[in-house]
Chain A
Amino acid sequence: MTIPTGNTRAGSAQGTRPEDNEDRTATMLPSAEPVQLIDADGTHRHSEKYPLPDGDALKAAFEGLVSGRRINDQANALVRQGRLAVYPSSHGQEACQIAAAAVLADGDWLFPTYRDTVAVVHRGVDPLQVLTLLKGDWHAGYDPYEHNVAPQATPLATQLLHAVGVAHAAKLRGENTVVMAMCGDGATSEGDFHEALNFAAVFHVPVVFFVQNNEYAISVPLKNQSVAPSLAHKAIGYGMPGERVDGNDAAALLAVLGAAVERAREGGGPALVEAHTYRMQAHTNADDATRYRSEEDVAQWVPRDPLARLRTYLTGLGVLDDAAEEEMAASAETIASRIRDGLNTDTVPEPMDLFNFVYDSRTPQLAEQAALLQDELSRAQD
């Protein structure tokens, strides 16, 4: 491959520091309240800055929410049945999941965390391959290049730097790629969060940092992570715009994330979007949320559910009726049954694969160890 020299579509290797800092400051601060286009009652709220996505886009998003909720429910059930080792559910955060994937073009990249299974599936990755990690057959179960989806990251915020690197490489190669880099509120405390935002801004690369602030990092509430006015306010410290959005409002998420993606694609550089949402379930099935938050706290978020408000809005608009919703439910059930069937089938990972991917070719040391395991396996068969 060759890097075209003098590619300056989005500036040189390093960003240029504009002279007028006062003007930049005004555009980098997030709005006082999270952007909301459809409120919890299903009513459209006008925004000067963000037009409401059209009915078709919202209906497609609603279908995604229905599938996403079903995937979360199904995966939880499979943990209880012992078919999945663990599942970090995005129940309540499905609007963030669907919007993050929906605003990307085919050639773009998605960098998800362990809680972003629904986003990865919405991007087009086979749900069975996504669940390989949690099923315990291997680590990343899908080919990241098939849909430009990085392996789901477990070490917090580390993937944000990879997102910057993919975007930087795309820029050097003259490709029009945008990268969506996802993380949670807890991850904003990590050093790699800081380094990723700073690198992205300095190199002026097309990354949208998307923080799902779901109020808890396992048990630790947001107030113990940060006392910044909002997580989106951190953006100005790096010289990029920050925006706050209602994380349970799919319409607002599509609008805000979509605008950030387009801005990045046009050479506007990175942005930070903070979605205010709530983790309705425990961190994983291994967690006991009653030890650190009350049922009353959780109950406050029930009326703000992302599905309910969009259903109300779309029904009122006349683009969603019972028949359409039944169709969506049936389609979601197809995905769920694929997951069920796949996970109820016992698979036996190939033990010799342990040695096949560590290096491009086995070192002499790994060849010896592979021979040892092979010998054990053949003796076990005798």
Chain B
Amino acid sequence: MNISKIANLKFFYTRTKNITFFLSVFSFVLFSVGIFWGLFIAPEDYLQGNSYRIIYMHVPAAWLSLQTYIFMAVTGFIALVWKVKIMEIASIQSAPIGALFTIIALVTGMIWGKPTWGTYWVWDARLTSELILLFLYIGVIALYASFKDKRQAVKITSLLAIIGLINIPIIHYSVEWWNTLHQGPTVTKFEKPSAHISMLMPLLYMFFVFNIYFLTVIIKRIRLGIYLREKNSKWMEEYRND
């Protein structure tokens, strides 16, 4: 078995059905364990009390939101350069997942901000760049949705994703620079003390779980993308009828 065989749409579609089922169950179990670990076993924070526990959702979601953008841009790059069909599908299908992670990160951050900072939203560098990341995702999704020819749409959104990937550090650092200029009261005051190992372990574990979840959903979404593209082809009809 080599790479080109996995990249074959039919091969991927027919072989991943059981894998997605297994992965779904696996990620559900892992997620339950992680939630239990984070919410009940991990020790209470001496400064923030129990409200800090939302980081077990917030931080992995924020990491994954960026990681998914990198995934989208890299697969888009492969799709553009080597014209690999499955990478086209993977690139565009990862965009809604990334947007979802971004929204989770923003919403959990806001919920955490209320008891900790006393307000749901501050124009802090990280919050602002996360919000801009959401707009970048929305731009990609909206651009894809407005094209009728989806293969052409993927090429253009891949290009946009790659340009966006170059731009994300620039945007991030300029926003950070802007923030230190307009010194907000919140950032330095609540700078996180380095976490204890008993708090850090569940966090890393949740990061791992979120990755498994991403893998599950991206495979499912790639299958969906393959189905949408190939629903009129012969092999798909044969496979459906089996």
The answer on A and B forming one complex is no
Residues on A facing B (Cβ under 8 Å): none
Binding site for A on B (CB under 8 A): none
